Amino acid sequence: MTTTELPLVVVLGEEEPPLLGRIEDRARLRRVGEADLAGALREADALLVWDFLTGALPAAWPASGGPRWVHTASAGVDRLLFPALLHSGAVITNSRGVFEEPIAEYVAGLVLAMAKDLPGTLDRQRARVWQHRETERVAGTRAVVVGGGPIGRAVARVLRALGLRVALVSRSAREGDAEFGRVHGFGELAGLLPEADWVVSAAPLTAGTADMFDAAAFARMKRGARFVNVGRGPLVVEDDLVAALRSGRLGGAALDVFRQEPLPGDSPLWTVPGLLVSPHMSADTHGWLEDLAELFLANFARWAAGRPLHNVVDNTLGYVPVGGAPDDTPHTEEVSP
């Protein structure tokens, strides 16, 4: 880029993001699909990964040069942590701050739906069956929330407001948390599972969290406990979850994320008893695309001015250490996907 050229911001996505016209006087914008990505990256100064489910970046990343800043319109960054990008020196940022409350509300809705048997009520309504039943109280039950970043913390906060007793599990244990007192480490999870009525997965996908919910984890859970995953699909060994539901070890489960998305029509997950399937929508509320665009534009203003960026990913950890503003000192372990 010469001193007189505006920076080239490549936008990866088939859909046009809202609001980007605000920076047309400060940047050259080029929206591309996966087929044209490789050519565009060689000239790009910055990359906005608007299509955050893409798997095209590793093959398209240039051998030299390329964007100095990569921003993803997602909280999870596991798709960006490939060697060529990590070794390029590019700064990676994510969209922390948009998804926390919506996901927390969604998890609370799932907990209430399972406790109050709303799926059973809808089934009986369709069949025109009048069958009075008793349901469960959630107040006083125990929940374990795995993932100590902003999403996991928001989930824990909302569940506590419903009266649940919540244990928060993060990468490392610590005492004296301002909200939760003790935060448990991943190493303590096995000991917490037998007492949990609800287990919520909201952790990032890293080498240390992949497949963490497998047959052994489900076997440790209290018989009849419920499981919810709003983190990343590969956190769960799906065949083991199906087996735990069919055996009655688990009393129910809800998945919003999957190893393969969209979920294939022949997947057993569609029909396994006691499982609620939703299409990766827990964070997506009315206006969420505008919120994502606003967050990017705010970070673009910082980048264009040479100021420190918000939501910078620690490439070694694989997530954004929680600290808020660039000058804050990180105090918790991870941001959930």
What secondary structure, in 3-state letters, does 183-213 show? EEEHHHHHHHHHHCCEEEECCCCCCCCCCCE
Q: Catalytic site residue 261? A: yes
- Which residue from 102, 76, 148, 64 is spatially nearest to 291, judged by alpha carbons? 102
Contact 258, 235 (CB under 8 A): no
Q: Catalytic site residue 280? A: yes
Catalytic residue among 28, 246, 280, 302: 280
Q: Catalytic site residue 294? A: no
Report residue 308 as tokens: 């420190």
Residue type, 10: V
Catalytic residue among 14, 15, 261, 290: 261
Report residue 321 as tokens: 């250490």
Element (H, E) at 146: strand 142-146
Q: Which residues on neighbouring strands pair with residue 168, listed in sequence order?
A: 145
SS3 169: strand
Q: Which residues on neighbouring strands pair with residue 46, listed in sequence order?
A: 9, 69
- Which residue from 322, 292, 290, 328 is spatially nearest to 308, judged by alpha carbons? 328
Contact 193, 179 (CB under 8 A): no
Catalytic residue among 171, 232, 249, 310: 232
Q: What is the C-alpha to C-alpha distance for residues 284 and 237, in angstroms, rounded to an integer?
A: 25
CA dihedral 233→238→242→243, nearest 10 degrees, is -140
Q: What is the C-alpha to C-alpha distance for residues 271 and 268, in angstroms, rounded to an integer?
A: 6
- Which residue from 31, 41, 82 is spatially nearest to 61, judged by alpha carbons? 41
Q: Which residues are catalytic?
A: 232, 261, 280
